[in-house]
Structure 1
Amino acid sequence: MKIIVPMAGIGSRLRPHTLTIPKPLTLIAGKPIVQRLVEDIVKVVDQKVEEIAFVIGPAFPKNTEEKLMEIARDLGAVGKIFVQENPLGIAHAIHCAEESLEGPCVVAFADTLFKADFSLDEASDGVIWVKQVEDPSAYGVVKLKDGIITDFVEKPTEYISDLAIIGIYYFKNGGKLRQEIQYLLDNNITDRGEFQLTSALENMKRNGSRFVPGEVNEWMDCGNKDITVDTNGKILRFSKEAEENLISPTVVLENSEIIEPCYIGENVVLKNSKIGPNVSLGDKSVVENSHIADSMIQTNTSILNANLKDAMIGNNVYFDGKFTSVSLGDYSVLK
């Protein structure tokens, strides 16, 4: 089994945080988004994952590859890095990892987290995971008949279905997907100016491939600041239910209170403060005279005299003030 993770997008909706760190490496409850994604996939596919291929952008920081290779190694897999030089669409991004498109494989987009309990349908050629949504016009959707997918439609302008594709796909034979994407590229078949995965899936279906839907219990996006903060809270609550300990024993607690669920990293100092619920606070951060709830704060950051809720603050930030719902990128200073 192989996992292919297209993650070359610039993450513009999550700026300023993605100006210095690729969105998939943003920490959610102490772990990069992409690490949580591949760990969850490894848990549910119930097969040995031998290789994880990451498709990154050309302007990603130099240490990105090292971090991604470490994530693969920790899961007992070989890591491979491919670069999508030009943003020509999802199908094109997957094709950048064409040498990994063979045999059983999972394709998963790196801004999607999920909770599910399922097994792969070995009788089908593929599984497309979906979730019912209120506004399907913003997503690729599937249409079903007798439990089989009959149509793939990218961002429909009129109602087709409310089953949105969440961005996780299983293919029994990745080589077939490679061939169909190559056909799109060779014949310059685009939709809205990009090579779309739904176009390749539709061609595979016409050529006899049988796809079934897979349903997830929870679909969590990491698109913009508010959604990402909400996802952080959900992950913390899931971890609490699983009785995971996310508070480091190295935390220095001085006249302070932690209201779980929270993630508190290593060597964090809390003075005269109340932290939680639903707060992630990264390594070597300091919080004084503050109350923080429902927020994400990355590493090496100082928070003083603050009352924060629904906040997202980056790495190496100094914040001293009375602001509440903020979004501060790395190396910001407010005092």
Structure 2
Amino acid sequence: MKGVVLAGGRGTRLRPMTEIMNKHVLPVYDEPMIFYPVRTLLENGISEILVISAPEYIGGYIQLLEERFEDAEFSYKVQDEPAGIAHAIQLAEGFVDDTFAVVLGDNIVMDDISENISAFADSDEDCMIFLKQVSDPSRYGVAEVEDDRVVELKEKPDSPETNTAVIGLYLYTSDVFDRIPELTKSDRGELEVTDLNRTYIEDDSLGYSELTGQWFDVGTPDGLLKASNFVAENRDA
């Protein structure tokens, strides 16, 4: 399995810190944010990693990551404009052979997902999403689960019916590259990953796993602070 780290986007929730820099180099305690998703992939046996970012930042990532992670084999792609997560995933076509993991660069996942990766590779599913119970679900995509199947996905609903958030970690087969061109842009002009994942519900080929360990969305100042405090308190634990 290969891995993809999405490190683009506008970083609007972290302004003014991101006015002149990409949010994925902001520090989470004592390391750049992007180190954490890269480490998530490496710790779960994924060493071939594609990093996708904006043209003005990609050169910096080459220098930053190559010097730090000697066990990884990095590739890089430029996303010319922040046109959505699904659009960024499409850029991985050509890098991916079969199954692959996608991690958003502002997600810190502390769970061991190696068993999930193995189960996905042996399953008939074409997509696996990861879920987490949260106190503020309206900030995320939300999943509704019935009889151990995801039956609905809603993007940032005003009145969510569950507290089950879809985090920024996904497993796909190369089938995804046939689905993305069929998507329609959302009202904000982007190809949404929620719309993409809904196509797997329609095909009954969407699996899920619920995380029990620590997870942080560090795309906000509060999330960045909470993650930094957690890392500081547990680094030597």
Q: What's the TM-score bracket when you normalise by the shorter of the two chains?
A: 0.7 to 0.9
Quick check: 2:86–2:193 contact (8 Å CA) kept in 1? yes
Residues 5 and 37 in structure 2, CA contact (< 8 A), matched pair in contact too: no
Q: Kindly indicate whether the alpha-carbon contact (under 8 Å) linking 1:4 and 1:105 is maintained by their aligned counterparts in 2.
A: yes
What's the CA shift for 1:57? Answer: 1.1
Q: Which runs of 5+ in 2 are unaligned?
A: none
Measure, in 1, the Cα distance between the counterparts of 2:182 and 2:234.
42
SS at match of 1:99: coil
Question: Partner residue of 2:233?
Answer: 237
**More RCO (CA 8 Å, sep 6+):** 2
1:215-237 Cα distance to aligned partner (Å, 9 max, x none): 14112122233431221110112
- The separation in 2 between residues aligned to 1:221 and 1:56, in whole angstroms, is 18
Matched, 1:151 2:152: yes
Q: Partners in 1 of 2:67 and 2:187 — Cα distance?
A: 36
Q: How many residues align?
A: 231
State, as a whole percentage, how many aligned pairs show the same letter. 27
RMSD: 2.2
Q: TM-score, normalised by structure 2?
A: 0.86
Within the candidate set 59, 65, 72, 2:56 is matched to 59
Give yes or no for contact 2:24–2:32 (8 Å, CA) kept in 1.
yes
Instruction: Return the alpha-carbon distance in structure 2 between the equivalents of residues 14 and 233 of structure 1.
Output: 17
Q: Given the alignment of the two structures, is residue 42 of structure 1 paired with residue 42 of structure 2, yes or no? A: yes
Q: Deviations over 1:257-284 (max 9, x none)?
A: xxxxxxxxxxxxxxxxxxxxxxxxxxxx
> 2:164, 2:67 → 1: CA distance?
35
Offset of residue 65 of structure 1: 2.7
Residue type at the aligned position of 2:61: T
Q: Structure 1 70/146 Cα, relative in aligned 2: closer, same or farther at 3 Å?
A: farther
Between structures 1 and 2, the one with greater helix share: 2
Structure 2 distance, partners of 1:21, 1:192, is 23
Give the Cα separation in 1 of the matches to 2:58 and 2:93. Answer: 23
1:21 and 1:79, CA in 2 relative to 1: closer, same or farther beyond 3 A? same
Distance in 2 (alpha carbons) for counterparts of 1:144 and 1:192: 27
In the other structure, the counterpart of 2:210 is 214
Residue of structure 1 aligned with 2:107, choices 90, 107, 112: 112
- If each structure's strand is expressed as a fraction of its own residues, which one has the higher value? 1
- For 1:101 and 1:154, the matched residues in 2 are separated by 27
Trace 1:218-297 onto structure 2 (pairs within 5 A).
Answer: 218-241=214-237
Aligned-residue offset at 1:112: 1.0
Give, in angstroms, the shift of residue 54 of structure 1. 0.9
